[in-house]
């Protein structure tokens, strides 16, 4: 599905960026397979209306019962390096006076420091789940998403709650798979347009955008998830 050429590494010793053709594309969605740190600079600046993404949190998540696999680059050191490299690229990709939404983990206080370098943090959305997670002392029932501004977006007609309720996926194929109703709400909240998701995972952001007839561009590091995303988009399956 994908062809790549290599950009010569004239500086030496660093990552070598591939010139990518899309892994998948249709009327609404374009998906690239590869490292967002390499692909984002090739896509240009000021073209996306919003970022809606769910990057590695840096919590070294170990999936329960072997039903899903561990997340790539989810160790704290790896995730911090990834965020510091990709957040400025995301900020360059989005238009001025835009809003974005980026999921993260409450325990990783460094995440806010990264985001503040390139965006204005306007608040946090709390995703309240229908089921509790696992834990010895507390069983988590929520995740957060940073609500970010670049410049000054237009005011909404009405201000809504910062607590969103949505059921978890009952049979996820990805360890951090977000439900479609949640991602649809996120896309509509930031205003639609062309959505950028540099950490596509199972593809929920891209599928949600397509169902809303909104254009989206995604990047996914792991080829097996690219294949699954392409299947979801081509078949229109709601998972």
Count of structural domains within the chain: 1
pLDDT higher than 80, residue 71? no
Query: 187, exposed or middle or buried, with CB in 10 Å at 0-12, 13-18, 19+?
Result: buried
Distance separating alpha carbons of residues 204 and 102, to the nearest angstrom = 14
Beta strands 142-150 and 120-128 are: antiparallel
CATH number of the domain that residue 68 is part of: 3.40.50.150
Q: How confident is the model at residue 140 (pLDDT cuts 50, 70, 90)?
A: confident
If we measure between CA atoms, which residue out of 146, 72, 140 comes closest to residue 108? 146
Asked if residue 63 lies in contact with residue 13, where contact means CB atoms within 8 angstroms, the answer is no
Q: Which of 51-60, 135-144, 213-222 has the lowest mean pLDDT?
A: 51-60
CA–CA gap between residue 204 and residue 188 (Å, rounded): 14
Span 159-198, pLDDT tens digits:
999 999 987 765 556 556 689 999 999 999 999 799 999 9
* Domain ranges, residue 15: 4-235
The residues near 205 (Cβ < 8 Å, ≥ 6 apart) are 52, 53, 54, 178, 183, 186, 187, 195, 197, 216, 218
**Whole-number Å distance between alpha carbons of 231 and 213:** 18
CA 211 to chain centroid: 17
Q: Model's pTM, two decimal places?
A: 0.83
């Amino acid at each position: 599905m994908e062809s790549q050429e290599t950009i010569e590494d004239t500086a030496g010793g660093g990552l070598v960026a591939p010139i990518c053709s899309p892994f998948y594309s249709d009327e609404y969605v374009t998906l690239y397979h590869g490292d967002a740190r390499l692909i984002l600079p090739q896509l240009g600046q000021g073209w996306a209306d919003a970022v809606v993404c769910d990057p590695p949190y840096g919590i070294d998540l170990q999936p329960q019962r072997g039903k899903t696999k561990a997340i790539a680059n989810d160790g704290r050191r790896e995730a911090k390096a990834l965020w510091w490299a990709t957040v400025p690229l995301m900020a360059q990709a989005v238009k001025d006076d835009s809003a974005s939404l980026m999921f993260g983990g409450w325990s990783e206080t460094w995440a806010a420091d990264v985001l503040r370098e390139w965006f204005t943090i306007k608040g946090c959305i709390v995703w309240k789940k229908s089921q509790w997670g696992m834990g010895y002392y507390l069983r988590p029932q929520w995740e957060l998403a940073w609500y970010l501004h670049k410049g000054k977006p237009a005011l909404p007609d009405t201000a809504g709650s910062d607590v969103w309720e949505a059921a978890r996926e009952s049979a996820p194929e990805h360890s951090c798979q977000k439900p479609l109703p949640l991602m649809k709400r996120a896309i509509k909240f930031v205003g639609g347009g062309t959505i950028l998701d540099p950490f596509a995972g199972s593809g929920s952001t891209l599928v949600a955008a397509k169902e809303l007839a909104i254009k989206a561009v995604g990047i996914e590091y792991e080829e097996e998830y690219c294949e699954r995303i392409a299947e979801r988009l081509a078949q229109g399956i709601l998972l």
